[in-house]
Amino acid sequence: MKLFLDSADLDEVKKWVATGFVDGVTTNPTLMAQVGKRPRDVIPQICALVNGPVSAEVTSTHAKGMLEEAAEFIKFGPNVVIKLPLIREGLIACRELSTQNIPTNVTLCFTPAQALLAAKAGATFISPFVGRLDDVATDGMVLIDEIVTIYNNYPALSTEVLVASIRHPRQLVDAAKMGADCATLPGKIFNQLFDHPLTDRGLEQFLMAYHTASMKMEDEGGEPSE
């Protein structure tokens, strides 16, 4: 499973890329606004930092404008991916970029039917938003299961499922169990993946036991074993 960082914050990208666990980066207009940047201000630097796909989202709502933005974005780096909203115009732009072998990430996906259309339009990635479905009392992971099942039924569809809008590590685990190709995580969620209180407590107990035994052996004149 590929793990992407969902951030436009250059410092945060640097921090998480350094862990070796980041396979790519996704951004969107909200994340850009949070750091007060436009794509041209930060995507080139992120592309240089990351050895993987970097999604930059267009803000046009018509295919012509989307394609114009895409023509600018592809200059940011060889690993840039054009992120397009899953609307009719976005799928028109997706199909055109697909014929030009320009990678795309079709975002704001909320139904399996939308995901099927995006795959037929040649999307490189589809981004279903699981957290936002949960926010409206709908099980977002059901959508992932349906998309993965549909895509697996048609091997000719090459679109990768990129699970987005993840709110907690359990959603990542369930997405991996379902066979989703990728997931994009805010830094906060990435951080949570490492931790468990029983791991911390177990390590503390191991070290306490070792140091206690070492001191006892030193008192008795022995040498602690390596």
Binding interface with ligand G3P (CB under 6 A): 6, 26, 28, 129, 131-132, 164-165, 184
Contact between 151 and 159 under an 8 Å Cβ cutoff? The reply is yes
How many CA atoms lie less than 13 Å away from 94 in the CB half-sphere? 26
Q: Give whichever of 28 and 104 is closer to ligand G3P, judged by the CB atom.
A: 28
Give catalytic status of residue 83 as yes or no. yes
Structure tokens at 26: 């996704």
CB of 108 to ligand G3P, least distance (A): 8
Q: Give whichever of 171 and 184 is closer to ligand G3P, judged by the CB atom.
A: 184
The neighbour count for residue 189, using CB atoms within 10 Å, is 18
What's phi and psi for 152, nearest 5 deg?
-70, -25
Q: How far apart are CA 190 and CA 64, in angstroms?
A: 36
The neighbour count for residue 59, using CB atoms within 10 Å, is 13
CB of 155 to ligand G3P, least distance (A): 27
- Choice among 14, 83, 120, 177 that is catalytic: 83
CB of 187 to ligand G3P, least distance (A): 12
Q: Give whichever of 173 and 215 is closer to ligand G3P, judged by the CB atom.
A: 173
- Which three-class secondary structure state does DSSP give residue 212? helix
Residue nearest to ligand G3P (CB): 165
> What interhelical angle do 112-120 and 140-153 show, nearest 10?
40
CB of 218 to ligand G3P, least distance (A): 54
Q: Give whichever of 35 and 214 is closer to ligand G3P, judged by the CB atom.
A: 35
CA distances from 176 to 3, 110, 218 (A): 10, 19, 49
Q: Give whichever of 65 and 131 is closer to ligand G3P, judged by the CB atom.
A: 131
CB of 158 to ligand G3P, least distance (A): 21
DSSP designation for 148 = H
Residues belonging to the active site: 83
